[in-house]
Amino acid sequence: MAGKAIFKRFRQASPIGVAALSTVVALAGCGSATTRTETTTLASAVAKAHPQAINPTAGQQAVAATPQTTDPVGDPHAHAMPLSEVEHLLRLEHVAAKVDNATYIDPLQYVNHWERTDQGVDANLPVGAPILAPCPVKILAVIPNWYAGQPLIYFELLDGPDAGKVQYVAEEITDLAQPGSILQQGQAIARYAASGTGIEYGWSTLNGVTLARATTGYEEGQATPAGQNMRDWLNALGANAGPS
């Protein structure tokens, strides 16, 4: 994706996930130095339980955000919120769902072109196509100006063998579900926007830092074990995303 590669030059060293404490945060193929480091292993880096007194009920109707009608690619130097604030939002909404035997559906059923593996998996979809909830999920946070005026959305898996883990989808998305809402399996987390830099779908830590950077570090464009793990996860659901 040539356009995406050009855009991503802006993020050459950012905390994975959401991050730019000063300028653009980087997650998908993003980068900018961060003062926070994590040294967890890929196997143990999933979000850990942080029980709340009151857990939401799976199946609550999600409320969609106001549709975005303008070009999602804005100022490439727009400021995203500090990583500390992102972490606060994630921990505030995280419910530490318990692992069970529920199954997932492919959240990227409408992909028409798979791109590279980096911190997550990059892909393109038809305009308006939904990114689906692979199981009941809770929307944890939305970062409006994550990269080049494009948003990022974090959500927690509430069922299945990966319950409690945090995933994200970022960049060329619109019509995002609201933080705090519960989506049932198959509901739209977001939709593919009319323009932008494609999407990235991947794993995050509960700190808002992508699993890739938290486990092995990340350089712009580098294929990571966490990114490959996400591609394998999608392929196991029938995504046909290819080997890399």
pLDDT digits (tens, 9 = 90+) for 48-76: 333 332 233 333 333 333 334 344 444 54
Domain extents for the chain? 2-236
Q: Within 10 Å of residue 74's Cβ, how many Cβ atoms?
A: 15
Is 90 exceeded by the pLDDT of residue 22? no
Q: Which is more confident, 40 or 188?
A: 188
Domain 2-236 has CATH 2.70.70.10: yes
Q: Burial, 112: exposed, middle or buried (Cβ in 10 Å; 0-12, 13-18, 19+)?
A: exposed
161, 145 contact by CB (below 8 A): no
Give me 202's structure tokens. 């991947």
- Per-residue pLDDT, averaged over 20-35, amounts to 35
Q: Distance between CA 24 and CA 31 in Å, rounded?
A: 8
Q: What is the mean pLDDT of the chain?
A: 75
- Please report which helix (H) or strand (E) contains residue 118, including its range: none
Q: Are 222 and 161 in contact (CB under 8 A)?
A: no
DSSP-based three-state secondary structure for 129: coil
Average pLDDT over residues 213-242: 88
Distance CA 180, CA 140 (A): 6
Least confident interval from 15-29, 66-80, 115-129, 163-177: 15-29
Burial of 80 (0-12, 13-18, 19+ CB in 10 A): buried
Looking at residue 72, what is its pLDDT? Answer: 45
Report which of residues 9 and 44 the model is more confident about.
44
